[in-house]
Amino acid sequence: MSKYRIAWLPGDGIGVEVMDATRVVLDALELDAEYPFGDIGWDCWCKEGDALPQRTIDLLGKVDAAMFGAITSKPVKAAEAELVPSLRGTGLVYRSPIVRMRQLFDLYVCLRPCKGYAGNPLNYKEGIDLVVFRENTEDLYSGVEFAPVPAELAATLQALSKPFAPFAKLPGDAYAVSCKINTKKGSERIVRAAFEFAKKHGRKKVTIVHKANVVRATDGLFLEEAKKVAKDFPEIAWDDANVDAIGMWLLKNPFNYDVLVAPNLYGDVISDLCAQMVGGLGFGCSGNIGEKLAVFEPTHGSAPKHAGKQKANPIATILTAKMMLDWLGEKDKAQRLEAATAAVIAEGKVRTYDMGGSSTTMEMGRAIAEKLPVAAGR
Ligand SMILES: NC(=O)c1ccc[n+]([C@@H]2O[C@H](COP(=O)([O-])OP(=O)(O)OC[C@H]3O[C@@H](n4cnc5c(N)ncnc54)[C@H](O)[C@@H]3O)[C@@H](O)[C@H]2O)c1
């Protein structure tokens, strides 16, 4: 029996190709693992009406970790139109399987390191090394949404909230409501995870990102909980910033920041911004981490226009595998994988289209796999 069982969920679009290239690297590392395959994504939705089938949920309950590629997601009506005819009009509603996976398994930490590797022609500035902690289970992604808005909800909002008055006059199908739900527990634990990471890794500062001056109830709660947590870490400097301002400050002075922590939506946005500063989505790696399970995935989506063309950069997924190795405690393998990736980037001979080259997805995977013995000093 292998030491690890790692669910292998390529998904669709470029997810399939970047995962194939990553597997070449993991195999070359000789990780003692088996990789049971799991169905997820657009095909499952179209054919079965469920983008995250129960058999995949069952699989996730029986593994040490999961590697996930990418999936295509579409708005509700567009998704319904692509169901097989027998499932259309049956009341099935599309929900992103990755959001469901995060909620079902309480994968509350979304960890997104954004490190610029020397020699990457796409680096915004050399030496950027940011880490984003994004809350992963609540906020505007809680899935509590109404379109059209039911009359009972409109009546309740009218009775309870003065600012709702201009909307109360509208017919239910003229607007939509998505609920931003943030709990004290959810806010506390993501901020604590960010501070604990900063302490463990000798990071100098944690920045709390919010919009508490306008979104006073939910972001106000997030900020208050964050301030309480900060008191438990007197050795770590911290500050806070509005999400709009941080977009500007990160670009202007990226070296003033270190670890950033934010509610779900803002965390999603700033992690793409940070990924772009270190080379774009082809370099953005991430882990969805809970107490019992962790699902590792590149930050990018299925990039349909590149799907099946062997164009996508697999480095994001390969660095995602490095995060998984760290999480499993395979520190030596993680370091070798990162060193091999850094060496290929620095050498500049193998570059995918986004880096200005014409190498294929698999050529990049093989180049990194071939550098592993060098990275180990063999
Ligand atoms: N976790 C996920 O699986 C996830 C995340 C984001 C978006 N999505 C879905 O993916 C689909 C496409 O979304 P999108 O186009 O907004 O975002 P995307 O991340 O798929 O791609 C945006 C663009 O970034 C570039 N890019 C992305 N990954 C790259 C890579 N590995 N190498 C080189 N270039 C890369 C491409 O130019 C691409 O067109 C949508 O259906 C969306 O809902 C899924």
Residues 6+ apart with CB under 8 A from 201: none
Give the model confidence (pLDDT) of 221-249 as tens digits.
Answer: 999 999 999 999 999 999 999 999 999 99
Q: Is residue 375's pLDDT more than 90?
A: no
Q: Is residue 378's pLDDT more than 90?
A: no
pLDDT computed for residue 77 by the predictor: 87
Pocket test for ligand 1, best of 52, 101, 141, 281 (most atoms within 8 A of CB): 281
Query: Percent of the chain, pLDDT > 90?
Result: 94
* 72 ligand 1 Cβ < 6 A: yes
Q: Separation of 17 CA from ligand 1 center, angstroms?
A: 13
Question: Which tokens belong to 43?
Answer: 């095909």
Q: Sign of dihedral through CA atoms 91, 96, 101, 103?
A: negative
pLDDT computed for residue 377 by the predictor: 60
Give the model confidence (pLDDT) of 338-374 as tens digits.
Answer: 999 999 999 999 999 999 999 999 999 999 999 997 6
Give the model confidence (pLDDT) of 311-338 as tens digits.
Answer: 999 999 999 999 999 999 999 999 999 9
Q: Separation of 172 CA from ligand 1 center, angstroms?
A: 33
Pocket test for ligand 1, best of 300, 317, 350, 360 (most atoms within 8 A of CB): 300
* 101 ligand 1 Cβ < 6 A: no
Q: Is residue 155's pLDDT more than 90?
A: yes
Question: Which tokens belong to 373?
Answer: 């013995």
pLDDT computed for residue 38 by the predictor: 98
Rounded (5°) CA angle 188-193-195: 95
pLDDT computed for residue 99 by the predictor: 87
CA-to-CA separations, 197 to 47, 193, 255, in angstroms, rounded? 42, 6, 18
Q: Which atom of ligand 1 is nearest to the CA of 72?
A: 41
Q: What's the whole-number average pLDDT of the chain?
A: 96
Q: Which atom of ligand 1 is nearest to the CA of 11?
A: 3
* 300 ligand 1 Cβ < 6 A: yes
3-class secondary structure, 176: coil
For the residues 146-164, what does the mean pLDDT come to? 97
Q: Which protein residue's CA is at the shortest distance from atom 18 of ligand 1? A: 301
Q: Which atom of ligand 1 is nearest to the CA of 303?
A: 20
User: Whole-angstrom Cα distance, residue 2 to residue 35?
Assistant: 10
Answer whether 139's CB lies under 8 Å from 269's CB.
no
Give the model confidence (pLDDT) of 261-306 as tens digits.
Answer: 999 999 999 999 999 999 999 999 999 999 999 999 999 999 999 9
For the residues 8-15, what does the mean pLDDT come to? 97
* 303 ligand 1 Cβ < 6 A: yes
CA-to-CA separations, 123 to 43, 111, 116, 254, 278, in angstroms, rounded? 35, 20, 6, 12, 5
Q: Separation of 308 CA from ligand 1 center, angstroms?
A: 14
User: Whole-angstrom Cα distance, residue 32 to residue 5?
Assistant: 9
pLDDT computed for residue 249 by the predictor: 97
Q: Which atom of ligand 1 is nearest to the CA of 316?
A: 31
Residues 6+ apart with CB under 8 A from 378: none
pLDDT computed for residue 374 by the predictor: 67
User: Whole-angstrom Cα distance, residue 284 to residue 365?
Assistant: 16
Q: Is residue 209's pLDDT more than 60?
A: yes
pLDDT computed for residue 1 by the predictor: 85
φ, ψ for residue 337 (rounded to 5)? -60, -45
Q: Flag whether the pTM goes above 0.85.
A: yes
Query: Side chain identity at 236, as an amino acid letter?
Result: I
Answer whether 336's CB lies under 8 Å from 319's CB.
no
237 half-sphere exposure, CB direction, 13 A CA radius: 6
